[in-house]
Structure 1
Amino acid sequence: MLVATGPVDPTADLVITELNRRRIPCTRIDPGAFPHDVTLDARLADDGLWHGRLAQGTRRIALEDIRAVYWRRPTTTRAIATPPGPDRDFAEREARLGLSGILAALPDITWVNDPARAAACTKPAQLAAFRAAGLDTPDTWIGNAPLAHGRFCAEHAPAIGKTLGPITHTDVTGTRHVINTTRVPDAHAGHPRVASTAHLVQAEVQERAFEYRVAVVGERLFVTEIHVDAPYLDIRAAPDEHTTYRPGRLSTELARRIVSVTRGFGLAFAAWDLIATRDRRILALELNPGGQWAFTPDHHHVTSALADHLEHTTR
């Protein structure tokens, strides 16, 4: 079994520990460290299959031994041996296509989750799928048209802005920034700079009671209520000393719809974010194919469920 993640990942550590306890052989390699710290040696055999090995330092795994892949959070591919510029861009593209292509070509692999399916699970696709499944969502606008941006923000004031992709950004100096959800300032609504890129803007959910983090593994749901007794806008930035986590429950129908949407994206795992309002509405915000769950009260149950899913294909 291959566990594909970065060098620091406490969530993956939980699953690896459980797999080791069950004596399930697993090898941890960071695909993002290819090509500078990972070696790929693959040859197409007469049987039409790729044979060879994948190695990082002393850790190595034969391609033909890979029956399951736990694809968590690999780092970004960087061809650091190549000078910055077009040559590095080319080297990094080739590295991504080479390694991902080999892994995708391996037969009968159980993925948690297939990176191609995870990449297709964009926020616009998620929100459309939520509505199609009968789930409630905040009113949303995406685009780069300043006038339309201004009209939406005025109609739904206060409006909030979110990233369409990961919330982390590394600038030209190498400094890493976290971009949490923020209210759109009046001066930014309809600003000409909106035309510079795509923006995701939503109506802010009023009268929040609490939030849910729901870990989905196959058809099993692990529900956590997140309560914050202090003002906050983005749950990820809520003060720890004012945040509590409790086991939660969802209605049978809501759970069925969550599983259906997750399965529709071809995902074996997803971490959902929901908001419960004081008038008992539940709004679906997003699902994350590589979301966190180690902080939840029942994280050991999620660990076991993931190990069960991965183990099934290795026996």
Structure 2
Amino acid sequence: MPDPRIVVATGPLDVTADFVIEELNRRGVPLARIDTGAFPDSVNLSATFGPDGWRGKLSGGSRTVRLEDLRAVYWRRPSNFPADSVEAGPSREFASREARSGMTGVLYALPGVAWVNHPLAITACTKPAQLAAFVRAGLTVPATWIGNVPQEHGDFCKAGPAVSKTLGPINYDGPEGYQVLYAARVPPEHYGHPRARATANCLQREIEHKVAEYRVAVVADRLFISEASVLGPYLDIRAVGQDGVTYTPGTLPDAVQAGIRTVTRKFGLVFAAWDLVRDDTGKIWALELNPGGQWAFTPDRDDICRAIADYLEEAANT
């Protein structure tokens, strides 16, 4: 079999990546699944720069890819450069920082590589930037406040029902153990609380009377739309659980689809998972897009998988 020209960068437990890997394997497309963020603990990198650019090898587990052969990276959920082989403390922090700079620096410098998605594009896709891009593309968004001023925090909450949301991942590993921080209504006793000064708070006006939610997967301008129906009242669909949500193939107005494509391209993303809501007036609200969102639970799972595999295979054959 030819040497791999695709790297699937993710950790050991990633069901979503598994579907794409199985599809590529079925097609006979060689690939290397390597947890790039596990460098240097269990992943090796040897790169030399010369007149022909960067050459060398990236290897993890039983798989190795030559840097000069690499044509596509499916960047899913690699580890975060823990550098566990170094004693905890400043030395480990330094080793982790250097490992990140070395691995990403070399990969980013390779010419002609197609990314799904490029990490720098993912980093740029912040919630404030998303909301501004949504509006410019003609999409409707809830009123939003971000800040740490208690008085203004309280003013926003008093003006109408408000929910608090995270600005980044909803997973949190703190003193009380692993938690998932779903969207939550702000109780009156927390309006303008002094603790608002402790960090950046994100508040949004609650969308009331929701009729349906949409999960839209975008793959290179192709849209795969699923409509979600929920039994009973809810605030955050992620907290409902799969047994309480029914997904069926859905549709969205052409103007909304055009806005989704425009924003996805604007951020330089090949893949994006969008969340939208329709209220009982028919208005459709754009909530957020996730460059690494899940899609394996949707009715279009197989089509999405094939579309991602198509993109990677075409890049590998270039």
Q: TM-score, normalised by structure 1?
A: 0.97
Structure 1 pair 3–20 and aligned structure 2 pair: CA distance change class (3 A)? same
Q: Does 1:140 find its partner at 2:144?
A: yes
In the TM superposition, what is the alpha-carbon distance from 1:172 to its structure 2 partner?
5.0
| Whole-angstrom distance in 2 between the partners of 1:204 and 1:50 | 50
Bigger drift between 297-306 and 163-172 goes to 163-172
| Whole-angstrom distance in 2 between the partners of 1:84 and 1:70 | 31
Partner of 1:261: 263
Q: Pick from 50, 59, 63 the counterpart of residue 63 of structure 2.
A: 59
In the TM superposition, what is the alpha-carbon distance from 1:189 to its structure 2 partner?
1.3
Partner of 1:169: 172
Partner of 1:116: 120
What is the number of equivalent residue pairs in this alignment?
Answer: 312
Bigger drift between 176-185 and 204-213 goes to 176-185
Partner of 2:190: 188
Bigger drift between 137-146 and 175-184 goes to 175-184
| Whole-angstrom distance in 1 between the partners of 2:135 and 2:88 | 43
Partner of 1:310: 312
Which residues of 2 match residues 1-315 of structure 1 at below 5 A?
1-47=6-52, 49-156=53-160, 158-171=161-174, 175-315=177-317
1:152-171, CA deviations, whole angstroms, 9 ceiling, x for partnerless residues?
Answer: 01102x21001000001122
| Whole-angstrom distance in 2 between the partners of 1:6 and 1:214 | 24
| Whole-angstrom distance in 2 between the partners of 1:190 and 1:154 | 9
- Stretches of structure 2 that go unaligned for 5 or more consecutive residues are 1-5
In the TM superposition, what is the alpha-carbon distance from 1:20 to its structure 2 partner?
0.9
| Whole-angstrom distance in 1 between the partners of 2:139 and 2:305 | 27
| Whole-angstrom distance in 2 between the partners of 1:242 and 1:70 | 31
Bigger drift between 239-248 and 295-304 goes to 239-248
| Whole-angstrom distance in 1 between the partners of 2:245 and 2:194 | 38
2:46 maps to a residue whose letter is D
1:96-152, CA deviations, whole angstroms, 9 ceiling, x for partnerless residues?
Answer: 111000100000110000001111100010011001111000110000111000000
| Whole-angstrom distance in 1 between the partners of 2:283 and 2:222 | 23
Bigger drift between 82-91 and 3-12 goes to 82-91
| Whole-angstrom distance in 2 between the partners of 1:23 and 1:215 | 25
Work out the percentage of aligned pairs sharing the same amino acid: 54
In the TM superposition, what is the alpha-carbon distance from 1:33 to its structure 2 partner?
0.9
| Whole-angstrom distance in 1 between the partners of 2:139 and 2:87 | 48
Contact 2:216 2:275 in 1 (8 A): yes
| Whole-angstrom distance in 1 between the partners of 2:266 and 2:199 | 29
What stretches of structure 1 move > 3 A for 4+ residues in a row? Answer: none
SS in 1 for 2:212: strand
SS in 1 for 2:316: coil
| Whole-angstrom distance in 2 between the partners of 1:168 and 1:308 | 31
In the TM superposition, what is the alpha-carbon distance from 1:75 to its structure 2 partner?
2.0
SS in 2 for 1:190: coil
Contact 2:34 2:61 in 1 (8 A): no
The two structures, once aligned, show a CA RMSD in angstroms of: 1.1
| Whole-angstrom distance in 2 between the partners of 1:304 and 1:14 | 9
In the TM superposition, what is the alpha-carbon distance from 1:45 to its structure 2 partner?
2.1
SS in 2 for 1:313: helix
